[in-house]
Homo-oligomer: A and B are copies of this chain.
Amino acid sequence: MAFVGIDVGGTRIKLGLVKQKKMVSSSVFEVKNNHSLEANLPLIIEEIKALSFAFDASEPIEGIGMALPCLIDHKKNKILSDYVKYPDAKNIDLEAWFYQFYKVPFIIENDARAALVGEIEGIDQGTKDAVLVTFGTGIGTAVLSNGTMLRGFNQFAGNLGGHQTIDVFGDKCNCGDIGCAESLASGWALHSILESEKSYEMSSLSKVKNPQIQDLFKAAAEGDTLAKSIYNRYLKAWSYTLKNLVYAYDPEYLILGGGVMTDGENLREYFQTFIDKANWLSHFTVKVVLAQNPDWAGVIGAAILAQEKEIAH
């Protein structure tokens, strides 16, 4: 019983063969045909064949799960939002496409939800209530509540935590709403935040081409005044974003992932202390933990979701 997990990023596509919820072989390829998911699908099939052959050619594949950074209707296997990197993704019948090669259950799922399923395997398989937050280019969120993925009426429950408004008197987010968490503190927002500052030219960050959050952290650690000020604002915005998510969902585990949290023990501790001090939480327990397997949790989770679909068949 082997299941395939596929995590479709904008620049890299990761694949894994998963048996009994553990990954037994994996591969990554750089996307060669940019801006077309369809053009990359044959490459995915080739990778699945190679993975399968490398592991055990006689082991049949029982299901395929695919994770993408979009709003997804998991039941209908349908992409609900645009995927900037692959404008064609929304219009491809992925289930039918994969069915040509593998007549097995196929699911697509939002990447944060898939990663949450994968992470829970490594953190506490018995938990019924966990929230995953990934800090990186954007802020991704997913929620497991009472043992099931929170999906909601239109299938986007738990996914839009990065676009909660935390600064109602602030500026427009690039989504069109006001003061979203992502617009205050994310990778994509950093450049315009820097440029809006008068002292930008005096900052060491003005010499960095296309500055990333890691550059902000580094410059702040080195004592750059502007970097320190923006870093503190990022910490504040992230802290209240997390507080709001805990107030909304009351998880047992708050799992921190994304590029920002690599080696993030200091940040984890900071957020744990902040959450512990939040007024309503002083009598309650929320365990703030780092993602255990940020690179592969999406692949593993997608495969596990495919397995669950197979069982439900």
A binding-site residues for B, Cβ under 8 Å? 71, 80-81, 128-129, 145-146, 148, 150-158, 160-161, 163-170, 173, 175-179, 184, 236-237, 240, 243-244, 247-252, 278-280, 283-286
Interface majority SS (helix, strand, loop, mixed), chain A: loop
- Chain B residues with Cβ below 8 Å from A249 are 150, 152, 157, 248
Nearest CB of B to A282, in Å: 9
In order of increasing CB-CB distance, the 9 nearest A-B pairs are: A152-B250, A157-B250, A160-B247, A176-B279, A153-B252, A129-B153, A154-B284, A175-B279, A165-B240
Known: A152-B251, A153-B251, A250-B156. A279 touches B177 (CB 8 A): yes
Closest B residue to A143 by beta carbon equals: B248
- Chain B residues with Cβ below 8 Å from A155 are 250
- Chain B residues with Cβ below 8 Å from A278 are 176-177
A145's partner among B152, B167, B284 (CB-CB below 8 A) is B152
A146's partner among B148, B161, B280 (CB-CB below 8 A) is B148
Q: Is the CB of A167 within 8 A of B168?
A: yes
- Chain B residues with Cβ below 8 Å from A166 are 165-168
A168's partner among B146, B158, B236 (CB-CB below 8 A) is B236
- Chain B residues with Cβ below 8 Å from A161 are 247-248
Nearest CB of B to A53, in Å: 40
Nearest CB of B to A12, in Å: 26
Give CA–CA (A252, B152) in the complex, Å: 8
Give CA–CA (A286, B160) in the complex, Å: 15
Q: Name the residue in A157, A176, A279 with the highest tally of chain B Cβ atoms < 10 Å from its Cβ.
A: A157
Q: List 14 A-B contacts (CB under 8 A).
A: A129-B153, A146-B150, A146-B152, A151-B250, A153-B251, A156-B284, A160-B247, A163-B247, A163-B280, A165-B240, A167-B169, A169-B170, A179-B240, A244-B244
Q: Is the CB of A157 within 8 A of B175?
A: no
- Chain B residues with Cβ below 8 Å from A279 are 163, 173, 175-177
Give CA–CA (A154, B148) in the complex, Å: 16
